[in-house]
């Protein structure tokens, strides 16, 4: 067991996503001292992703000339279903082969320092609650809509982790019983219908079957792939196919939110992740679905807003989580 720490030491926060790995040194006052990013290259497999993350931590320490004992802790916000008691990512469907990875132990053993592990959307809801769009809101849900979909939930001012720490897997809520197969093994998950990956797959399928679209320029010669950003740009330029695929995804996202509204009766739902850059193009149709389908009492109580912290929500949340574990009271997931 490490000695009691000085709260003045910085936390090295990591946001491990399926596209990017962010690392940051965050001071005890919440100031970002340094921040780097690298690409996850998820298709290279679990071992490669772990090594890329360890190298990213090493890089930041070397860059800032800091040794691990000069840190308060390392805190990782990771995509996927996480067993917080064991510090294990049990499954992360967007990273091939990512099953039962003891991430906390791997990092703790390499750097010899107290390490924490939290789901990335749970981290994001913590940071939005303390620093972002959700300040002062005690019934709050954060939804990340990116390559995948996840959520973090705060009820009566307290984060909801569930029995193991894997609550909030909104991306794997079944929306269509006849829906597409999901990487998690289920079918018709929200993630297969409303994520950035789903948008790209839907647009590509329509273009391949011969539908007209300005996006066709990106798929000719088989050398280029459409991206969600290109779909957004095309939609804003009037491309009908792009507008249709965004409307379809937004409709499913709205249905997912109606389910959450009926269960949790939140005051606010914050949308983050890459697709939140679409703003009202994505949110207005989702808001319309909520208006049409949610019960009046709970539907009228909720505001749907964009994340204030955007790409930094995960690293701030990881640091906040680490600080919450060392306050000497109610320590939930102490490293040993």
Q: How far is the CB of 172 from Zn ion (least distance, A)?
A: 4
Measured from the CB atom, the residue of 80 and 266 that comes closer to Zn ion is 80
266-305 positions binding Zn ion, by CB under 5 A? none
Binding mask 162-191 for Zn ion (x = CB under 5 A): ----------x---------x-x-x--x--
Q: Which two tokens stand for residue 62?
A: 């070397």
Measured from the CB atom, the residue of 169 and 232 that comes closer to Zn ion is 169
CA distance readout (Å), 299 to 59, 248, 265: 47, 21, 8
Measured from the CB atom, the residue of 182 and 200 that comes closer to Zn ion is 182
Measured from the CB atom, the residue of 84 and 189 that comes closer to Zn ion is 189
Q: How far is the CB of 66 from Zn ion (least distance, A)?
A: 39
Q: Which two tokens stand for residue 328?
A: 């000497």
Strands (DSSP E) found in 54-139: 73-78, 81-83, 88-91, 99-101, 115-119
Q: Which two tokens stand for residue 134?
A: 């959700």
212-251 positions binding Zn ion, by CB under 5 A? none
Q: How far is the CB of 63 from Zn ion (least distance, A)?
A: 37
- In the chain, the largest separation of any two C-alpha atoms, in whole Å, equals 65
Q: How far is the CB of 248 from Zn ion (least distance, A)?
A: 18
Binding mask 189-218 for Zn ion (x = CB under 5 A): x-----------------------------
Continuous segment of H or E residues that includes residue 159: strand 158-159
Q: How far is the CB of 272 from Zn ion (least distance, A)?
A: 20
Cβ atoms within 10 A of the Cβ of 287, count? 19
| Cα–Cα distance measured from residue 269 to residue 7, given in angstroms and rounded to the nearest whole number | 32
Any residues with CB less than 8 A from the CB of 128 and at least 6 apart, and which?
A: 134, 140, 142, 270, 272, 307, 308, 309, 313, 317
Q: How far is the CB of 84 from Zn ion (least distance, A)?
A: 20
108-167 positions binding Zn ion, by CB under 5 A? none
Measured from the CB atom, the residue of 13 and 182 that comes closer to Zn ion is 182
Measured from the CB atom, the residue of 149 and 241 that comes closer to Zn ion is 149
Q: How many residues sit in the footprint of Zn ion (CB under 5 A)?
A: 5
Q: How far is the CB of 176 from Zn ion (least distance, A)?
A: 12
Measured from the CB atom, the residue of 32 and 187 that comes closer to Zn ion is 187
Burial of 28 (0-12, 13-18, 19+ CB in 10 A): middle
Burial of 174 (0-12, 13-18, 19+ CB in 10 A): middle
Binding site for Zn ion (CB under 5 A): 172, 182, 184, 186, 189
């Amino acid at each position: 067991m490490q000695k009691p720490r000085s709260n003045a030491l910085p936390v090295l926060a990591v946001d491990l996503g399926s596209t990017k790995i962010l690392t940051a040194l965050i001071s005890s006052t919440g100031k970002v001292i340094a921040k780097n990013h690298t690409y996850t290259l998820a298709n290279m497999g679990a071992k490669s992703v772990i090594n890329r993350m360890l190298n990213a931590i090493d890089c930041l320490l070397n860059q800032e000339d800091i040794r691990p004992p000069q840190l308060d802790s390392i805190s990782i916000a990771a995509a996927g279903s996480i067993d917080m008691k064991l510090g294990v990512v049990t499954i992360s469907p967007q990273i091939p082969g990512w099953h039962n990875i003891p991430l906390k132990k791997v990092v703790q053993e390499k750097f010899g320092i107290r390490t924490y592990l939290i789901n990335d959307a749970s981290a994001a809801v913590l940071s939005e609650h303390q620093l972002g769009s959700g300040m002062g809101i005690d019934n709050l849900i954060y939804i990340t809509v990116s390559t995948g979909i996840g959520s973090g939930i705060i009820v009566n001012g307290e984060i909801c982790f569930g029995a193991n720490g894997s609550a909030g897997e909104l991306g794997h809520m079944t929306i269509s019983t006849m829906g597409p197969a999901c990487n998690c093994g289920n079918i018709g998950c929200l993630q297969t219908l409303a994520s950035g990956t789903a948008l790209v797959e839907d647009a590509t399928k329509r273009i391949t079957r011969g539908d007209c679209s300005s996006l066709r320029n990106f798929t000719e010669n088989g050398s280029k792939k459409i991206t969600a950003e290109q779909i957004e740009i095309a939609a804003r330029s009037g491309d009908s196919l792009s507008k249709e695929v965004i409307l379809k995804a937004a409709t499913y996202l709205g249905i997912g939110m109606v389910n959450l509204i009926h269960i949790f009766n939140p005051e606010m739902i914050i949308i983050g992740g890459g697709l939140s850059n679409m703003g009202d193009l994505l949110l207005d149709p989702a808001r319309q679905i909520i208006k049409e389908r949610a019960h009046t009492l709970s539907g009228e109580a909720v505001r749907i807003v964009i994340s204030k912290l955007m790409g930094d929500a995960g690293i701030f949340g990881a640091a906040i989580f680490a600080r919450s574990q060392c306050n000497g009271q109610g320590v939930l997931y102490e490293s040993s």
